Amino acid sequence: MPIVTLTNVSKTYPSRTRDESEIVAVDDVTLSIEKGDVFGIIGYSGAGKSTLVRLINALEPATSGTITVDGVDITALKESELRKVRGGIGMIFQQFNLFASRSVKANIAYPLKLAGWSKPDIEARVAELLSFVGLADKAKAYPEQLSGGQKQRVGIARALATGPAILLADEATSALDPQTTHEVLDLLKRVNQEQGVTIVVITHEMDVIQTIATKVAVMEKGRVIEQGDVFDVFSAPQNPASQRFVGTVVKGLPSPSERAVLRDRHQGRLVTFSFRDGDSSQAQVFLDLAGAGLDFELVYGGINDIRGRAFGHLTLAIRGEDSVIDRTLADVGRRVEVTELAEEEAR
- Average pLDDT score over residue span 39-55: 91
For residue 167, give the nearest of 151, 187, 148, 147 by alpha carbon: 187
- For 2-246, the fitting CATH number among 3.40.50.970, 2.60.40.10, 3.40.50.300, 3.30.70.890 is 3.40.50.300
| DSSP code string of 131-183 | HHTT-GGGTT--GGGS-HHHHHHHHHHHHHTT--SEEEEESTTTTS-HHHHHH
- How many other C-beta atoms are found inside a 10 Å radius of the C-beta of residue 162? 16
140/118 Cα distance (integer angstroms): 20
Please tell me the predicted confidence (pLDDT) of residue 96. 87
Q: Any bridge partners for residue 227, and if so which?
A: 217
Per-residue pLDDT tens digits for 108-122: 999 999 989 999 999
Q: Are 69 and 62 in contact (CB under 8 A)?
A: no
Please tell me the predicted confidence (pLDDT) of residue 326. 95
Strand, helix or coil for residue 279: coil
69/55 Cα distance (integer angstroms): 11
264/122 Cα distance (integer angstroms): 67
Q: Does the pLDDT of residue 320 top 80, yes or no?
A: yes
277/260 Cα distance (integer angstroms): 30
Please tell me the predicted confidence (pLDDT) of residue 346. 38
34/259 Cα distance (integer angstroms): 42
The residue extents of the domains of the chain are 2-246, 256-346
Strand, helix or coil for residue 303: strand
Per-residue pLDDT tens digits for 184-193: 999 999 999 9
Q: Does the pLDDT of residue 347 top 70, yes or no?
A: no
- Percent with pLDDT over 70 in the chain: 98
- What residue type is 101 in one-letter code? S
Indicate the pLDDT class of residue 282, thresholds 50, 70 and 90: confident
Per-residue pLDDT tens digits for 226-280: 999 999 998 888 888 888 888 888 888 888 899 999 999 999 999 999 988 876 7
Q: What is the CATH number of domain 256-346?
A: 3.30.70.260
- Average pLDDT score over residue span 152-160: 95
Indicate the pLDDT class of residue 342, thresholds 50, 70 and 90: confident
- Top mean pLDDT of 6-20, 211-225, 295-309 is at 211-225
- Average pLDDT score over residue span 74-93: 88
